[in-house]
Structure 1
C-alpha cells in the first residue's frame, strides 16, 4: 500500500483529499502547511507528496525547494495539486523538481490516474536502470537515461497544461511575445531531449537483452 503525504493549509481541502485517497486504497498522512510538511518528513518517508502552492506563510514552491535541497528527502516524488494556473516561468524553474502538475478541482479517477502514472513511471525507470547496470552500462549513461525519461514526460505534461491555459493553438487568441517565446523554447528543449534519449536507447539496445 502506497503512503501519500497531503500538504495544504486548508484543513477542509486536506480532509477532502485524504478521504478520496483512502477510498482509493492509499495510506495517507496530512500536513497543514509547508513547515508541518518538512517536520513530518523528518520521521516519515511517503511514496508521494501531493503539494499545494497557494499556502501561507511558506508557499508550495518554497516547500518544494526545501524538500529537494535536503539529501534525505530529495528523491521523494512531488506532485503539485493546486488551483493555481501554471506559468511558463514556473514550468521552466520548477519542472525539474516535480513529477506532475494537476489542477483542482479533480475527480477521484483523475487523481488516482495521476498518482498511478507518477508511481508507474518511477518504477519503469528504476527497472530499466537496474537492467542497464546489470548489463555493465556506464553509470553516467544510466543516470542520463533516467533523467531524460522523466524530464521528457513531465515537460510534455506541463507543455500541454500551458497550451490549454494560454489557448496557444487558437489563432484568434493573442498571447504575449514572452509567453509565446517560452512555450516555443520548451518545445525545442523537449525535442532536443527526445533526440538525445533515442541516441542513448540505441546505445543501450545492444547491451541489454
Structure 2
C-alpha cells in the first residue's frame, strides 16, 4: 500500500450500518484516502449528483434499496456508469448474482471486512485501471483498432473479477469440504465461470500478441 502522502483518491462508502461506515471512514483516512460516508443507496445516488469519487465501496445487504439495485442504478446513469464499484457483504454471493453483476463490479470482499484485504483490493483496482489506461494509450498511439483496445481493457478487468468471484463461489458452495454435497446447480455455475475465464484468457492472449506486434 502506498504511503499516506501519495494517496488522494476519493472513496464513497455505502452501508446502512453507521458502525461499519464510521470504521471504514477512519481506516481510509488513516491511509490518506478521502472517504465520503453514505448510509443508504438513495443517499449514495444523491451524493453522486455532485461528487465524483474514484471508487464506490458498496454493501449488498441494505434496506430499503439493496446494493445490487444501487449498483444497477449507478450503472444505468450515463454520468456514473464508468465509476468503479467494489462490492462487500456478509451475505454469500450466489451463482446467479455473480453471473448477473460480474461485468459491473471491480471486485468483491466478504464481511467481516479484513482491513488488509480491503486495502489490497482497493489498491488492486486502482493499479489495474491505471495500467490498462496507459496500455490503451500506447496501443492507440501505435494505431491499434479502438474496438480491440476496448475489448482488451474489458477483458483485463473481467478476468480478475471473475477469478475472485470464482473463489467466493467455491467457498460458498462448500464443494471442497469433506462430506459436503453441493447443489448440482451451484457446481454447474462454478464450471461455467471457470470455462468463461479460460475463454477470456485465451482471447486476452491473442490480443496481447497483437499489442506486442504493433507496439
Q: Which residue of 1 aligns with 2:165?
A: 158
Tell me the SS of whatever aligns to 2:104: coil
In 2, the alpha carbon distance for the partners of 1:203 and 1:171 equals 45
Q: Are 2:96 and 1:96 aligned?
A: no
Deviations 1:84-125 (A, max 9, x none): 111111100000000111011123222211100111111111
Alpha-carbon distance in structure 2 between the residues aligned to 1:107 and 1:59: 22
CA displacement, residues 58-80 of structure 1 (integer Å, 9 cap, x when unaligned) = 11000000000111101110000
Unaligned runs of 5+ in 2: 1-7
State the superposition RMSD in angstroms.
Answer: 1.0
- Of residues 111, 130, 138, the one that matches 1:131 is 138
Q: Which contiguous aligned blocks of 4+ residues in structure 1 show a shift greater than 6 angstroms?
A: none
Q: How far did 1:10 drift?
A: 1.4
Task: Please list every run of 5 or more consecutive structure 1 residues that lacks an aligned counterpart in the other structure.
Answer: none
Q: How does 1:2-151 map to 2 (within 5 A)?
A: 2-151=9-158
Distance in 2 between the 1:192 and 1:171 partners?
Answer: 30
Between the aligned partners of 1:11 and 1:28, the Cα distance in structure 2 is 14
Q: Tell me how far 1:171 sits from its aligned partner.
A: 5.6
Q: CA deviation at 1:167?
A: 2.3
SS state at 2:208 partner:
helix
What displacement does 1:2 show?
Answer: 0.7
Contact 2:173 2:183 in 1 (8 A): no
Structure 1 length as normaliser, TM-score?
0.97
Q: Give me the whole-angstrom Cα distance separating, in 2, the residues matched to 1:38 and 1:79.
A: 16
| TM-score, with structure 2 as normaliser | 0.94
